[in-house]
């Protein structure tokens, strides 16, 4: 009967059948069968060691992952604040520059309207004077 119930390791009967297939008859008290007990015990201890290592690695990875997640969250929050404030400052500067251009356009439009009105009045005056002179 194997020491490990999960199917790791061979039973005495399985090993005896394997050896009989290759080497002939093997008795129940053959000393070679003691190796099965020793090797199954080794496999059991190795399984315990692997389980301890697995638990330790899982704990380490969990701790590191939590640290990485926290660092990423902090960096993301800081970057979000930085981008928000820089974006807001950029938009404010753009609106201020646009406002100045709009004021300049408004002033230029008023000057152009005044020039057009003055030009129209001068043209009317010139035509009126020319009409009076021709009579």
Alpha-carbon gap, residue 134 to 6, rounded angstroms: 126
For the chain, give the percent of residues with pLDDT over 90.
25
pLDDT, tens digit, 9 for 90 and up, residues 62-113: 888 888 888 888 888 887 777 776 777 788 888 889 889 998 999 999 999 9
CB 32 within 8 A of CB 26: yes
Token readout for 120 is 């129209």
Nearest to 12 by CA among 26, 38, 42, 33: 33
Token readout for 80 is 């979000």
Alpha-carbon gap, residue 55 to 60, rounded angstroms: 9
What is the domain partition of the chain in residue ranges? 12-134
């Amino acid at each position: 009967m194997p020491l490990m119930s999960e199917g790791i390791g061979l039973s005495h009967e399985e090993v005896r059948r394997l050896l009989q297939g290759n080497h002939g008859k093997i008795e129940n008290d053959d000393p070679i069968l003691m190796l099965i007990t020793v090797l199954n015990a080794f496999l059991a201890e190795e399984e315990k060691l692997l389980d301890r290592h697995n638990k330790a690695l899982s704990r380490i990875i969990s701790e590191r992952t939590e640290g990485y997640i926290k660092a990423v969250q902090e960096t993301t929050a800081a970057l979000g604040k930085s981008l928000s404030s820089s974006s807001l400052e950029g938009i404010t500067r753009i609106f201020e520059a646009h406002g100045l251009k709009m004021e300049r356009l408004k002033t230029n439009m008023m000057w152009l309207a005044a020039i057009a009105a003055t030009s129209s009045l001068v043209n009317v005056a010139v035509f009126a004077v020319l009409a009076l002179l021709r009579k």
